[in-house]
Amino acid sequence: MMQVITAIEEMRRYSRNIRGEGKTLGFVPTMGYLHDGHMSLVDAARKECDIVAVSVFVNPVQFGPGEDLDRYPRDIERDRHISEEHGVDVMFIPSEEEMYPDGYSTFVEPTGVIVRGLCGLSKPGHFRGVATVVAKFLNITKPHVIYFGQKDAQQSVVIKRMVEDLNMDTEVRVMPIVREADGLAMSSRNSCLSPEERGQAPGLFRSLKRAEDLVAGGEYSADKIRTEMENMMRETPDLRIDYIEIVDAHGLMPLDRVKENTLIAVAARVGRTRLIDNIRIGKTRESEA
């Protein structure tokens, strides 16, 4: 039967016991309102690790002023039911007061190119909050493997760098994006869309598919691909572009030309809801030549 833990010290004891028994612990950090994308991470952890832990915590320090902290969907009982159905061994559901008690003053501050563009440009301070909460979770749960989804590509790069730079003893695994039938990347925020907005949201994915088709046809100019994507997205009413970026997938350096291991990423608002998506180009005919 799945165990539910709310106290940090209890979670630390649980993890110590697991490690003491020689078992491997896989950890899936979430902000809740779980969906099949989250469960794909759980299923991967289930295959690879002896014990699977899932956290549910809407992290206030990664939200900026005027963002959707109050609107972010929450349903703990639903999350518990879904987690238990998927064989999660333990859910860690700390309170904000438990994670950030009075007097809390220590943060992890990622710097450099990896936080300068994409979501880092339009959401200053966001990755400071992400890195801080993930560092805390890693210290609390001590997992052998932590799982993230490719939808949050920049987040994954930031966390990989943090784990490497701070010599943390955890493997970071990034799993493929899980999509709806019309291509929309699964996200807890999709539940905030009205029916009309939901019909427009796949415009992000369509623009990415257009980019993929252009690359497959031999177009490698980042400017031309970006322009084609922008034109396509502007055909969708009420889809307000935040960014369209073409960068190196490892270090997130902006590129003039698509090459091997390129990340093409988009962000846009549909109504009040901000959505992100991306594709990764493995190789091009040019890089294989």
Q: Which residues are catalytic?
A: 38
Distance of CA 124 to the CA centre of its chain: 17
Averaged pLDDT score across all residues of the chain = 96
Residue 136: its pLDDT value, please?
98
Q: What percent of the chain has pLDDT over 90?
A: 95
pLDDT tens digits, 165-188 = 999 999 999 999 999 999 999 999
Phi, psi at residue 270, to the nearest 5°? -120, 105
Structural domains for the chain: 3-175 (3.40.50.620), 188-277 (3.30.1300.10)
Alpha helices in 104-145 (DSSP H): 113-116, 119-122, 126-141
Under the banding of pLDDT at 50, 70 and 90, the label for residue 283 is confident
pLDDT tens digits, 50-79 = 999 999 999 999 999 889 999 999 999 999
pLDDT tens digits, 86-130 = 999 999 999 999 999 999 999 999 999 999 999 999 999 999 999
* Helix, strand and coil percent figures for the chain, each rounded to 5: 45, 20, 35
Residue 171: its pLDDT value, please?
98
pLDDT tens digits, 6-35 = 999 999 999 999 999 999 999 999 999 999
Q: What is the 3-state secondary structure (H, E, C) of 135-162?
A: HHHHHHHCCCEEEEEHHHHHHHHHHHHH
Residue 272: its pLDDT value, please?
94
pLDDT tens digits, 259-272 = 999 999 999 999 99
Length of the chain as a residue count: 289
Is this model's pTM higher than 0.85 or not? yes
- Give the CA diameter of the chain: 59
Residue 284: its pLDDT value, please?
78
Q: Is the dihedral of CA 133, 48, 277, 289 positive or negative?
A: positive
